[in-house]
Amino acid sequence: MVNRIRSLGAKKLSYAGRVVLINYVLNTLYSYWASIFLKPKGVIRRIEAICRNYLWGSSSDYHKVPLIAWEKVTLPKDEGGLGIKRAVLWNTDTVAKLVDWIYGKADRLWIRWVNQIYIKNKDWHNYCPPTDASWAWKCICRVKDIMKLTYIDDQWPEDPKGYSIRSGYEWLRPRQTIQRWKNIVWNKWNYPKHAMISWITMNNGLKVKDKLYQIRCSPDNRYCISDVAPETQSHLFFECSYSKQILLEIEKSCGFKVAGHNSRMNLHLIKPGIVADSIREEVKRRIRTNLSKEPTQNDKIWLRKWGMAVD
């Protein structure tokens, strides 16, 4: 895992790219060993530390303070996380597949061997391993004691097709409230980089001056454009007159309303109209990439507002 992170390409990835690499490369390396036996707690902690450090600092070592807690990061996207799997739960979940094979008396050589050496026609649901059993077998039995709480008549009731790693993980993980903003952040129209920044913002993770001042990393918490208010996320995006002028420009294309706000503005900034034009061009490029070949009538009306030609 560390060798993959140290490659030149991995170091240059954005936050969004690092999430993809963690999910489809680093976790894949771990998944093979996780399906065989339970890993020591120290190994689990090290694996999660490697993924966490890489996500926030592009390195396997600790260099940057995480913007969002790892418990939040490992939630599904619709519950406010990034969908990265928790290593300890994934380990338990994959080993539980072996438990399910024993419950179902699968026609496998290993199952026949286990029944001959250890179980010996005993009730698997209430089975306890002998003291001289191997460490790996005791690990499997520990997982069985966790998963048996939901088995009914030796059957996995969470999925009509039987036990699956997906349904097992969903049963093990803690549930959180579905976030109303999930479809705004995670949709095909957003660039992955923009979606990631939006996700950090929705979880109050941006390093605004008010937060840095509280941990004594900034001499003050005043907003750099106008010093009449602290620099918070809410002020930065919605309350500052500069931000509001940009939003009012975008309003002409999107149709949402932004309440007025008065504050002093630094005249050396890029004009809001120029920033709004840049945003509109980014949106147009994304629309051209994802637009279907046959847009609906409502789509055509909306596209004309953005100044895009529609046949």
Give the tens place of pLDDT for each residue, 125-140. 999 999 998 888 999 9
pTM of the model as a whole: 0.78
Residues 20 and 81 in one domain: yes
Residues 11 and 75 in one domain: yes
- Domains in the chain: how many in total? 3
Convert the pLDDT of each residue in 174-198 to its tens digit: 889 999 999 989 988 888 989 999 9
Residues 251 and 279 in one domain: yes
Domain boundary among 85, 112, 143: 85
Average pLDDT over residues 133-159: 91
pLDDT band at 265 (very low <50, low <70, confident <90, very high): very low
Report if residue 155 sits inside a domain.
yes
Of the two residues 268 and 124, the one the predictor is more confident about is 124
Domain coverage including residue 286: 207-305
Residues 110 and 54 in one domain: no
Domain boundary among 152, 172, 192: 172
Angle between helix axes 87-103 and 135-147 (nearest 10 degrees) is 90
Residues 168 and 221 in one domain: no
Q: Can you give the pLDDT at residue 268?
A: 60
Q: Can you give the pLDDT at residue 140?
A: 93
Residues 44 and 68 in one domain: yes
Report if residue 52 sits inside a domain.
yes
Report if residue 63 sits inside a domain.
yes
Percentage of the chain lying above the pLDDT 90 cut: 39
Q: Can you give the pLDDT at residue 263?
A: 42
Report if residue 184 sits inside a domain.
no
Average pLDDT over residues 75-88: 94
Report if residue 199 sits inside a domain.
no
Domain boundary among 28, 50, 85: 85
Of the two residues 287 and 206, the one the predictor is more confident about is 206
Residues 46 and 70 in one domain: yes
Residues 220 and 291 in one domain: yes
Convert the pLDDT of each residue in 59-71 to its tens digit: 888 888 899 999 9
Residues 163 and 243 in one domain: no
Residues 71 and 117 in one domain: no
Report if residue 12 sits inside a domain.
yes
Of the two residues 171 and 298, the one the predictor is more confident about is 171
Average pLDDT over residues 28-46: 87
Question: From CA 169, how far away is CA 60, in angstroms rounded?
Answer: 26
Residues 225 and 269 in one domain: yes
Q: Can you give the pLDDT at residue 257?
A: 62
Q: Can you give the pLDDT at residue 93?
A: 92
Residues 218 and 276 in one domain: yes
Report if residue 32 sits inside a domain.
yes
Report if residue 179 sits inside a domain.
no
